[in-house]
């Protein structure tokens, strides 16, 4: 039994030590399993070389003379791989040492196995974002991609559709969604591994973090599927309406990115012109705050208030039970700490009004700090 771990690299030399070491840890845990690492370097300007004798597994390095994009790099890596099992791992993502052992124990007769994941410092699946949706073709056709990254999934090589290998998306971002939809369309089965074995890391190199590129890639994917009549009847109707659903999700994401950018821009302006950033807090007699929303904007507010006179006591988040944080995180109905104000990083009028009704202290939108 051989597992091929395929890692496309794009200016990924800085990630090599982490990749090599975590694969070595997996090999040590997965006794009796042959593992090969296929590094497909898709950045022609940066050459990669590895001293293979240091590691207990086989390493194949391919330096491409041209940039193929993430989908093309995965397929080219697959062509070089020899394993019966395939793991497509992004260069900045992480797997636990027991990943291969536990995924192989769980896959059984299924075509692929999906484990639970950590994403953006929180458990990716919650009471509202249900893990079992990863095996629902209807959910994938009507809502969005429930699998955060291909590193969650160990796949049997012969279950990878030829259509995915022969139709490379020009736009980066949705190639993994494309793969899951094609597998679902062919009736491939997915086993569920309830253990958290994978962490998706967001960096500046992620196409998944670039909303505009992702939307272009999703549109290209949907057009390919529709033009080639991969789905029929009701499923084809769901697919034709999917782009609208995905766009609405991305518009919300863009709005949150804009708010985060506006806050950081204001902070930098204060620093550059020696404007007292804390005036808002002083004028409103605020010393201790809770931040509603432990996402990117909330985390940035926490970071920028660090080492000031303002104490961030806790976060409030509807998914408090699933968030990984050194600071306490509470659900809104479980708050038992007194603060001078609640800062809302989530722009939702209903949630804001609900917090005002539940709280004895003032509730402010983050935007009010600089407006």
Asked whether residue 205 carries a pLDDT value surpassing 70, the answer given is no
The arithmetic mean of pLDDT across residues 61-80, rounded, is 96
Structure pTM? 0.82
Per-residue confidence at 263, pLDDT binned at 50, 70, 90? confident
pLDDT at 207: 46
Highest mean pLDDT among 16-20, 343-347, 365-369: 16-20
Give the position of tokens 């990984």.
324
CATH homologous superfamily of 276-369? NAD(P)-binding Rossmann-like Domain (3.40.50.720)
Strand partners, 117: 198
Beta strands in the chain (DSSP E): 2-9, 34-41, 58-63, 85-88, 94-95, 112-119, 122-123, 153-156, 190-200, 288-292, 311-316, 329-330, 341-344, 363-365
Tell me the Ramachandran region of residue 274: left when phi exceeds 0, alpha when psi lies from -120 to 50, beta otherwise.
Answer: left
Q: Are 52 and 58 in contact (CB under 8 A)?
A: yes
Residues in the chain: 371
Q: By three-state DSSP, how is residue 196 classified?
A: strand
Asked whether residue 111 carries a pLDDT value surpassing 80, the answer given is yes
Q: pLDDT tens digits for 240-254? A: 999 888 888 888 777
Asked whether residue 148 carries a pLDDT value surpassing 80, the answer given is yes
pLDDT at 371: 62
281-285 contacts: CB < 8 A, separation 24 or more? 281/309, 281/310, 284/340, 284/341, 284/362, 284/364, 285/340
Domain ranges of the chain: 2-207, 276-369
Average pLDDT, the chain: 90
- Parallel, antiparallel, or unpaired for β 34-41 and 311-316? unpaired
Q: Which fold has domain 2-207?
A: Spore Coat Polysaccharide Biosynthesis Protein SpsA; Chain A (3.90.550)
């Amino acid at each position: 039994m051989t597992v091929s771990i395929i890692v496309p690299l794009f200016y990924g030399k800085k990630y090599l030590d982490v990749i090599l070491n975590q694969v070595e840890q997996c090999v040590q845990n997965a006794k009796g399993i042959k593992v090969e690492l296929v590094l497909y370097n898709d950045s022609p300007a940066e050459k990669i070389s590895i001293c293979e004798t240091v590691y207990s597994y086989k390493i194949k390095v391919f330096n491409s003379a041209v940039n193929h994009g993430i989908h093309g790099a995965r397929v080219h890596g697959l062509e070089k791989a020899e394993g019966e099992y395939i793991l497509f791992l992004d260069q900045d993502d992480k797997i636990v040492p027991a990943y291969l052992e536990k995924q192989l124990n769980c896959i059984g007769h299924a075509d692929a196995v999906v484990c639970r994941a950590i994403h953006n410092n929180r458990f990716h699946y919650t009471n509202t974002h249900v893990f079992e949706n990863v095996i629902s073709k209807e959910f994938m056709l009507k809502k969005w991609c429930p699998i955060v990254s291909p590193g969650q999934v160990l796949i049997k090589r012969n279950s990878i559709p030829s259509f995915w290998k022969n139709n490379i998306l020009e736009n980066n971002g949705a190639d993994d969604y494309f793969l899951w939809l094609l597998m679902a369309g062919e009736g491939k089965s997915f086993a569920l591994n309830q253990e958290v074995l994978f962490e998706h890391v967001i960096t500046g190199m992620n196409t998944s973090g670039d909303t505009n590129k992702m939307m272009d890639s999703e549109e290209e994917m949907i057009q390919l599927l529709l033009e080639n009549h991969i789905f029929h009847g009701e499923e084809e109707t769901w697919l034709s309406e999917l782009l609208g659903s995905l766009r609405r999700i991305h518009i919300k994401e863009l709005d949150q990115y804009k708010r985060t950018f506006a806050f950081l821009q204001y902070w930098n302006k204060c620093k550059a012109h020696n404007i007292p950033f804390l005036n808002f807090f002083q004028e409103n007699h605020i010393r201790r705050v809770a931040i509603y929303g432990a996402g990117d904007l909330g985390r940035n507010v926490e970071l920028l208030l660090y080492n000031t006179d303002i104490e961030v006591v806790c976060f409030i988040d509807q998914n408090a039970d699933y968030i990984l944080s050194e600071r306490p995180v509470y659900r809104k109905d479980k708050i038992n700490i007194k603060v001078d104000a609640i800062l809302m990083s989530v722009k939702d009028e209903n949630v804001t009004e609900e917090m005002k009704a539940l709280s004895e202290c003032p509730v402010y939108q983050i935007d009010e700090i600089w407006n």
